[in-house]
Amino acid sequence: MSETNRAASRAAALLKTVSILETISFVILLTMMIRHNETGVSVAGATHGLLFLWYVVLVWRDRALFGWSPSFLAVAILTGPLGAIVVLERLRRHPAL
């Protein structure tokens, strides 16, 4: 396996993990909001915010590595947790990963 493929595999693994955590944290945040749990909203909101920022940084950093277009990048970032699911699917379909 070439060094580029290793780097892509490592980047994809980290992005997959962060995407899953970001989506789960969003579901937890929504649950806390529905239950009117203010403490839960504060904790889940902060956690989700940090994970989303990490997700955005990874998507931006790895866009060229995975050959993502500016329009895909916009969808991945602007749609939030749904974008994370789209990214997971795109990574699943990537032939080298």
Select from 57, 48, 70 the least CA-distant residue to 15.
Answer: 57
- Structural domain span for residue 80: 3-93
H or E element: which one contains 53? helix 38-66
Distance between the two ends of the chain, CA-based, in angstroms?
Answer: 11
When pLDDT is cut at 50, 70 and 90, the band that residue 96 belongs to is: low
- The predicted-structure confidence for 21-76, as pLDDT tens digits, reads as follows 999 999 999 999 999 999 999 999 999 999 999 999 999 999 999 999 999 999 99
**Total count of domains within the chain:** 1
- Tokens found for residue 31: 């649950």
- 61: Cα separation from own chain's centroid: 12
